[in-house]
Amino acid sequence: MLKLGIIGTNAISEQFVGAGQIAETFNVTAIYSRTEEKAEQFAKKTDVAGAKYFTDTDAFFNSDVFDVVYIASPNSFHFRHALQAIEAKKDVIVEKPAFSNPNEFSQIEAALQENPEVMFFEAARHIYDPNFKVVEDQMAKLDKIEGATISYMKYSSRYDNVLAGERPNVFTLDFSGGALQDLGVYTVYVALKLFGVPEKVHYFAQKVSTGVDGRGTAVLEYPDFNVNLIFGKIAQSYIPSEIYGGHDTIWIDNIGQMDEVRYYPDYKTDNYEDLSVDHPENPLVDESIFFEKMITDQDFDTMQEQLVLAHNVNQVVYALRQDAGIVFAADGR
């Protein structure tokens, strides 16, 4: 098991630690939090024994008690923490969205070139789900592609705080928040992994009082078809995602977890094939296994492929944000 340091004592970090325990891939040996009390509470909640607690990032990254860092701090801190990690020769797994804009991403790429022994991954968990591979395999069998609709909209309880006049991090420009950054990035990842980089993008955003997008619809233009992305944090949607092949259609229940994948071979009937395969209840197990293998094997070729995908996702998300006139504090740095 690889020795893991954690930044960000939140729900997604709990899931990642749990995934590492299930898959026996990562052993948490260091926890950074703003207070030692919070670090201790996280360790107890995740049943982590013997981890060292840190309240100073310099001391955290300069320590020798871990080799890989999982970064799940607020979005606007990802860049600073990832850069510190790379310069400290720590392998990096950073939660999506990796960075606020292409300027930050290019600086990380430069840092990786200066530290070629360091591995870097963005934790886009759904592309490692076995049912995503099912979708890729079935899509390759379609005679043609007529486009897709990719949807991921979940009501956030933190929007209730916004309605009460508060400013939770995930709903603020200062912390690089909003629906596109939080849930829309899942849909962008699916589109780019399946169809490549679009020629043009458009984003029709519904903004909330804090200035970020609460929900929206994006259109990615490809030479022969369009892909529609629907996502949000201020409403709950139950519509699936679909890939259109003309007479046939691939249907996905939820791109965030992908429990069910169907193939409808003929538009003349409602009959379908259930292509779903079993996957772990914890949705981060498969990515945990992938990251551990890549780091253990020092598979820099595959890492580079994932880095190019993450780079392209970052570019498209930024272009969508620009189209909607959403400006983060990080864009001015």
CATH code of 39's domain: 3.40.50.720
Using CB atoms within 10 Å of the CB of residue 97, give its burial: 0 to 12 exposed, 13 to 18 middle, 19+ buried.
buried
40 token code pair: 């201790």
pLDDT tens, position by position, 200-213:
999 999 999 999 99
Q: For 286, what's the count of Cα atoms within 13 Å in the CB-facing half-sphere?
A: 17
Residue with structure tokens 């979708």? 135
Residue 212: per-residue pLDDT: 98
**121 within some domain:** yes
In the three-class reduction of DSSP (H, G, I as helix; E, B as strand; rest coil), residue 120 is classed as strand
Q: How far is CA 144 from the centre of its chain?
A: 28
Residue 300: per-residue pLDDT: 98
Residue with structure tokens 């993450």? 310
pLDDT tens, position by position, 60-97:
999 999 999 999 999 999 999 999 999 999 999 999 99
Average pLDDT, the chain: 97
Total tally of structural domains belonging to the chain? 2
Residue with structure tokens 């992938």? 290
307 close to 111: Cβ distance less than 8 angstroms: no
pTM of the model: 0.96
For residues 49 and 123, the model is more confident at: 123
| pLDDT confidence band for 332 (50 / 70 / 90) | confident
- Spatial distance between the Cα atoms of 134 and 200, rounded to a whole number of angstroms: 28
Give me the percent of the chain exceeding a pLDDT of 90: 98
Do 134 and 84 fall into the same domain? no
Domain end, chosen from 126, 158, 190, is at: 126
pLDDT tens, position by position, 266-315:
999 999 999 999 999 999 999 999 999 999 999 999 999 999 999 999 99
Domain end, chosen from 126, 149, 180, is at: 126
Residue 180's nearest CA partner among 72, 309, 318, 49 is 318
**85 within some domain:** yes
Rama region for 156: left / alpha / beta (φ>0; ψ in -120 to 50; rest): beta
For the segment 186-191, the average pLDDT, to the nearest whole number, is: 98
Q: Residue 33 pLDDT > 80, yes or no?
A: yes
* Structural domain span for residue 149: 127-284+316-332
pLDDT tens, position by position, 196-254:
999 999 999 999 999 999 999 999 999 999 999 999 999 999 999 999 999 999 999 99
174 token code pair: 């200062």
Rounded to the nearest 5 degrees, what angle is found at the Cα of 8, between the Cα atoms of 330 and 171? 45
